[in-house]
A and B are shown apart, each in its own frame.
Chain A
Amino acid sequence: MRQESLSQKIDWVTILLFGAMVMLGWMNIYAANYNPDLELGIFDFSTSAGRQFVWICTSGILIAAVFLFDYKFFDSFAYIIYGVILALLVFVLIGGKEVAGSKSWIGVGSFGLQPSEFAKFATALVLARYIGKADTKLENLKSLIVALLLIAVPMVLIALQGDIGTALVFAALIIPLFMEGMPIVILMSVSGLLLIFLLTLLLNQTLLLVIVSIAILLAIGLNTKESKRIMIIIVTGVVVVLMIRSVDFILSDVLKPYQQKRVLSLVNPNIDPLGIGWNVNQSKIAIGSGGLFGKGFLEGTQTKFDFVPEQSTDFIFCTIGEEHGWIGSSLLIFLFVTFLLRLIFLTERQKSSFARVFGYSVVSIIFFHFSINIAMTIGLFPVVGIPLPFFSYGGSSLWAFTILLFVFLKLDAHRMQELQRW
């Protein structure tokens, strides 16, 4: 077989989409902080856009480095990378810098990195490695528990840093498990409990309990013949009721006050329009003021005059919504959908289960970031503070997503060799 060059084997469609997103992100970071009085250029290091340019350039170096590694390196070194990241996560807990309530930074001078951003990559890698082993069967309980533990350990460490948003992202890794054979019941139960959690916030608790009780009685009534089913229904019912009862406990005792307020302001953003509701309200105002076509590049007022907080990081979507309107926002969503579907397409053509699991992990993580980030800016989800991949300002985030994506593209480029190994 003729040896193709790397540039012929690599998926240029994904790279094109990646490039488009990074460039659009960069321009919007410039717009988000544009100051008409200062007329600073897009390359000026005193602006976020100027610094983002540095992050973009260094991401280029990272891409080159990823391609220089042997593709088997990531498989072989998965546990070591995972171990190093876990160590760093423990280290920041002890000696990290605290920024905005999260103790998640390793600082070298004025330069800071967040190991938690790279933990997503490491966990995806180790998960792929573990599930890729011939003897791992997610249908059996032992393998499933190990896989869940691999996800849970970094998740808990990050949650301990106080960065609930990033910790939540790890929940997305349940999707590759599901794709690789985890029983659908588990996925359904997790989603079901989440749904009930949200309903508890939205509806009156007593009303909800009444509805659940009626549902249980109905279910039992329809299945009087089969005692095994009745047992399952009763157990489910008890779990649901406990869940509802515990939401109040979680809200008032587990979540920190600012997190409680964020959850409550989702249900009612007018609870405190100048306090915690401020972020969501201002975000919606910025996006809503964009109209159909938007106000035009650099013409936005809500983001650049600081009404929207974190306008170049977590709320970068506001600038797009305000300056480019519904058309621009829809195009961005369309871009992400195309990108994710392309990644699924690539994943499904993988020959090794390592590459496939890793691919699904990449899809899940990016999809989770995308959906939660947009949902929180348009008031469909509490403000949890996770970035919009490739768009949001930030070195750690851009680097981590670049590595995540390009390791997968590297694996994809070598998928035929995998076949040859067999």
Chain B
Amino acid sequence: MTEKSFIIKFLIVLTAIIFITRLFYIQIIEENYKIAAENNVIQKTIQYPFRGLIYDRNDSLITFNSPVYDLMVIPKEVNIVDTARFCRLLEITAEEFREKISKAKKYSMILASKFQEQISDELFAKVQDQLINYPGFYVLPRTIRSYNTESMANVLGYVGEVSSRFLRNDNSGYYQSGDYIGIGGIEKSYEAMLRGRRGVSYKIVNVQGIIKDVYKDGDFDTVSVAGKDLRLTIDLELQQYAERLMNGKVGSVVAIEPQSGKILTLVSAPSYDPQLLSGKNLSKNFPFLEQNENKPLFNRPLQARYPPGSMFKTIQGVIAMHEQVVDSNEIITTDGSNIGDLAPPGPYTMTRAIQKSSNNYFYLIMKRMVEQGVEESQFLDARIGFEKWRNYVAEFGLGEKLGVDMPNEINGNVPSIEWYDKLYGVGRWKYSNIASLSIGQGELLVTPLQMANLGAILANRGYYITPHVVDSIGNSPNPNVKKRTLPFSADLYETVLDGMEKVINSGSGIRGYMDSLRLAGKTSTIQNPHGEDHSGFMGFAPLDEPQISIVAFVENAGQGGRAAVSVASLLAERYIFGEISRPWLEDYVMEKRYLSGNASGITIAEN
């Protein structure tokens, strides 16, 4: 009897010990239960601030937020009697309904997830009154980007849901799955200012998600801060005009206010309506735009690389005079034998060489720069001269990012000693190997933005301000704007500018001539091994008190003296006078009369 009684008592005590041990594990050792408990009851409510608005330089509204409605679902609360009727209401099939519900359930039974993204206004109006009959469904308003213009998608960029790849690499800790983020253009580069700061409030909820209390008296709550508005340097009207001129073409147009570095126009052609990548359009249209052969998502002014061609001669002129290998008045007689040339052989001053775009003149003066006779060996001598030349070229902002306030700007390329060493071997190259650099061809590559900046440097006679598209953030001016002064004396520029004015008055840029406006510039016909040459022009106006520097690149449009100078000249006239006096030139550009052959237009169809 006592033995049996012992067994029972032992069993009771053993059970108690097992329980107390197990409880010790659950309550004291294991932390996950405490975390799970907090997750259960603490509901984090996020207040998303309005994203900042975007205005042009004249305060006309470009980008704003418009409300859209997502249909949300909490699977646990769903109780639909007549599924067919519900599907008819939402205009979806029973199959879609099942898919969406099971996707939501997979995410969470008790947390809300998107059932249908961005329902149409008509559907919203229809559904709104009926939803009361469908527990577990509700409409959540949010905003998407809307635009007052179809222009400048390349500048504005777009906003989309943050990608999981981004989230993995992001260490700011700000973003969460489902958040929206600026992906391209200034939406990306000014994301931190535009988005503002979201507010968070912690509430204690019951199992139905009904708020019961404020968590820790709201000590952990933060108030949302609205995004800052941006005022751009872009002149929307000018931008739209430039885009109109570039319609059906591939290329870039950049205009800068020289004294301030403010970008007035930044055209990447072909372009697309920014609305195409807003809200739920994004997922629909993005693949289409990405795969389009004309690459509308490619921001050409910042990302395209071209040899500068003849417009580079302006830089060569300044450098050569600074190096005193040539005097502004020195007459050099070319025999046309050194390099292919459209300019006739004969006597050239610097001014005339620029006006006529004499390849042989610039061949010779660069030879003087590279072969300064410091070393006996031609090969070693070339290295020293070339390095000097290269450093001067870099002063013009070539081969490096200018630091424009937009993503994806590229460096371009100014070849280095190392590069040629690799190509030819150390001590095995001399001037003749690199001579094509003298006329802006060869391995030299620039972006349209760098050339527009060159226009500003020339207009300013020796300095530039970091080109930028955002003028002010909120009420404060853009802080990332610096002045850089080049080490060349101002009078050197005047000689070059003299030549540039003559290019317009009686040179290759004659199409851009206006009685009323002194335009100075230089055309480029950029050799294109793959097809028709690219047409390029860099210049500014007016010559004495410059207000606008312009670069235009029109791909496969032939000579620089045709399409590019026409576009630039029209843009300058439009900017300074607000109207066009040469409708025939407009037609010439828009109808592509500059093409000798049959014009095959490029259009981006809208889906």
Chain A residues within CB distance 8 Å of chain B? 35-37, 175, 178-179, 274, 281-282, 284-292, 301-302, 305-307, 321-322, 325-326, 329-330, 333-334, 336-337, 340-341, 344, 348, 360, 363, 367, 371, 374-375, 378, 380
A-contact bits for B33-47, CB 8 A (1 contact / 0 none): 110111011000000
CB distance from A409 to the nearest CB of B (A): 19
**Is there contact, CB below 8 Å, between A285 and B204?**
no
Which B1-34 residues sit within 8 Å CB-CB of chain A? Answer: 1, 4-5, 8-9, 11-13, 15-16, 18-20, 22-24, 26-28, 30, 32-34
- Are A329 and B28 in contact (CB-based, < 8 A)? no
Neighbour of B13 across the interface among A290, A291, A292, A337, CB < 8 A: A337
* Cα(A360)–Cα(B204), bound, Å: 47
CB neighbours (8 Å) of B432 from chain A are none
Q: Do A325 and B27 form a contact, CB below 8 Å, given A36-B213, A333-B16, A334-B16?
A: yes
Verify B37–A288 contact, CB threshold 8 A.
yes
In the complex, what residues of A have CB within 8 A of residue B18's CB?
A: 380
In the assembled complex, B132 has its CB within 8 A of some CB on chain A: no
**Do the beta carbons of B27 and A329 come within 8 Å of each other?**
yes
Q: From residue A168, how far is it (CB to closest CB) to chain B in Å?
A: 16
Chain B residue at minimal CB-CB distance from A290: B27
The complex places the Cα of A35 from the Cα of B206 at a distance, in Å, of: 10
Query: Shortest Cβ distance from A175 into chain B, in angstroms?
Result: 7
Partner of A305, one of B1, B30, B110, B207: B207
Contact A329 B23 (CB under 8 A): yes
Chain B residues with CB under 8 Å of A306's CB are 206-208
A285 to B33 alpha-carbon distance, docked (Å): 5
Say whether B20 contacts A330, CB under 8 Å: yes
In the complex, the chain B residue whose C-beta lies closest to that of A179 is B4
In the complex, are the beta carbons of A287 and B205 less than 8 A apart? Answer: no
Q: Which residues of B contact A290 (CB under 8 A)?
A: 27
Given known contacts A321-B23, A329-B23, A380-B22, A285 and B12 CB-to-CB distance under 8 angstroms: no
In chain B, what residue has the closest Cβ to A336? B16
Q: Across the interface, do B33 and A371 meet the contact criterion of CB distance under 8 Å? A: no
- Point out residues on B near A: beta carbons under 8 Å: 1, 4-5, 8-9, 11-13, 15-16, 18-20, 22-24, 26-28, 30, 32-34, 36-38, 40-41, 108-110, 204-208, 212-213
Q: With A284-B33, A330-B20 in contact, is A37–B8 under 8 Å at CB? A: no
Also in contact, A37 and B212, with CB within 8 A (given A288-B30, A305-B206): yes
- 26 interchain pairs, CB-CB under 8 A: A36-B212, A274-B109, A281-B36, A285-B40, A287-B26, A288-B34, A289-B34, A289-B36, A290-B27, A291-B28, A292-B27, A302-B40, A305-B204, A306-B206, A321-B23, A326-B23, A329-B19, A333-B19, A333-B23, A340-B12, A341-B9, A344-B8, A348-B5, A374-B19, A378-B22, A380-B18
Given the known A-B contacts A307-B40, A374-B19, A378-B22, are A291 and B34 also in contact in the complex, defined by CB atoms under 8 Å?
A: yes
Question: Interface residues of B: mostly helix, strand, loop or mixed?
Answer: helix
Question: Once the chains bind, are B207 and A178 in contact (CB under 8 Å)?
Answer: no
Residues of B within 8 A of A367 (CB): 11-12, 15
Query: Are B207 and A287 closer than 8 Å at their CB atoms?
Result: no
Expressed in whole angstroms, the minimum distance between the Cβ of B601 and any Cβ of chain A is 58
Question: Which residue, B41, B108, B205, has most C-beta atoms of chain A within 10 A?
Answer: B41
In the A-B complex, list the 4 residue pairs whose CB atoms are closest, starting with the nearest. Answer: A288-B33, A289-B37, A305-B206, A306-B207
Interface contact B16-A321, CB-CB below 8 Å: no
Question: B41's closest neighbor in chain A, by CB?
Answer: A301
Are the C-beta atoms of A287 and B23 separated by less than 8 Å? yes
Interface centre among B22, B27, B204 (most CB of A within 10 A): B27
**Residue picked from A175, A285, A302, most chain B C-beta under 10 Å:** A285
| Inter-chain contacts of B204 with A (CB < 8 A) | 301, 305
Question: Which of B5, B19, B20, B34 lies at the interface centre, i.e. has the most chain A CB atoms within 10 A of its CB?
Answer: B19
Contacts of A36 in B (CB 8 A): 212-213
CA distance A267 to B40 in the complex (A): 24
- Cross-chain contact B23 with A330 (CB below 8 angstroms): yes
Cβ of B64 to closest chain A Cβ, rounded Å: 41
User: How many Å from the CB of A245 to the closest CB on chain B?
Assistant: 30
Other 19 A-B pairs with CB < 8 A, given A306-B207, A348-B5, A371-B15:
A35-B212, A179-B5, A284-B26, A285-B37, A289-B34, A292-B28, A305-B41, A305-B212, A307-B40, A307-B206, A326-B24, A330-B20, A344-B5, A367-B11, A374-B19, A375-B19, A378-B19, A378-B23, A378-B26
- B41 in contact with A287 (CB, 8 Å): no
- Considering the chains assembled together, what is the distance between the CA atoms of A344 and B13 in angstroms? 13
CB pair B12 A341 closer than 8 Å: yes
A-side contacts of B13, CB under 8 Å:
337
- Tell me whether A302 and B37 are in contact in the complex, defined as CB-CB below 8 angstroms, given that A291-B27, A326-B27 are known contacts: yes
CA distance A301 to B37 in the complex (A): 8
Most buried by A among B32, B208, B212: B212
Separation of A168 and B335 alpha carbons in the complex (Å)? 114
Q: Given A363-B8, A378-B23, A380-B22 in contact, is the A326-B28 Cβ separation under 8 Å? A: yes
- A253–B110 Cα gap in the complex (Å)? 32
CB distance from B157 to the nearest CB of A (A): 40
CA distance A23 to B376 in the complex (A): 109
Determine if A344 and B9 form an interchain contact, defined as CB atoms under 8 angstroms apart.
yes
A35 to B210 CA separation, bound complex (whole angstroms): 12
Closest A residue by C-beta to B22: A378
Residue on B with the closest CB to A187?
B7
Return A132 CB to nearest CB of chain B, in Å: 16
A305 engages B27 (CB within 8 Å): no
CB distance from A322 to the nearest CB of B (A): 8
Contacts of A336 in B (CB 8 A): 16
A378–B21 CA distance with the chains assembled, in angstroms: 11
Residue of A nearest to B206 (CB): A305
A307 / chain B contacts, CB cutoff of 8 Å:
40-41, 206-207
Contacts of A281 in B (CB 8 A): 36
Query: Which residues does chain B contribute within 8 Å of A341, judged by CB atoms?
Result: 9, 12
Distance (whole angstroms) from the CB of B380 to the closest CB of chain A: 75
With a cutoff of 8 Å between Cβ atoms, the chain B residues found around residue A333 in the complex are: 16, 19-20, 23
**Which residue in A287, A330, A348 is a CB contact (below 8 Å) of B33?**
A287
A178 to B6, CA, bound (A): 13
Query: From residue B78, how far is it (CB to closest CB) to chain A in Å?
Result: 14
How distant is the Cα of A343 from the Cα of B82 in the complex, in angstroms? 59
**A287 with B5: CB separation less than 8 A:** no
Residue from A286, A326, A348 with most neighbouring chain B CB atoms (10 Å): A326
Contacts of B109 in A (CB 8 A): 274
Contacts of B12 in A (CB 8 A): 337, 340-341, 367
Docked pose: A291 CA to B5 CA in angstroms: 35
Q: Nearest Cβ in chain A — how far from B16, in angstroms?
A: 5
Q: Which single residue of chain A is at the shortest CB-CB distance from B33?
A: A288
Point out the residues of chain A lying under 8 angstroms from B15, CB to CB: 367, 371
Distance of A306 Cα from B110 Cα, bound (Å): 13
Contact B26 A175 (CB under 8 A): no
Contacts of B26 in A (CB 8 A): 284, 287-288, 378
**Minimum distance in angstroms from A37 CB to a CB of chain B:** 7
Give chain B residues whose Cβ lies under 8 Å from the Cβ of A289.
33-34, 36-38
**Docked complex Cα distance between A340 and B207 (Å):** 37
Give A244 to B9 CA distance when docked, in angstroms.
31
Contact A337:B16 (CB < 8 A) given known A302-B40, A326-B24: yes
Chain A residues with CB under 8 Å of B205's CB are 305
User: How far does the Cβ of A395 sit from chain B's closest Cβ, in whole Å?
Assistant: 26
A290 to B26, CA, bound (A): 9
Contacts of A285 in B (CB 8 A): 33, 36-37, 40
Alpha-carbon separation in the docked complex, A371 to B109 (Å)? 32
CA distance A410 to B4 in the complex (A): 25
Which residues from A are CB-within-8-Å of B24? Answer: 326
Q: Bound state CA distance, A286 and B12, in angstroms?
A: 25
Contact status A302-B41, CB under 8 Å: yes
Residues of A within 8 A of B213 (CB): 36
Rounded to whole Å, the gap between the CB of B550 and the closest CB of chain A is: 63
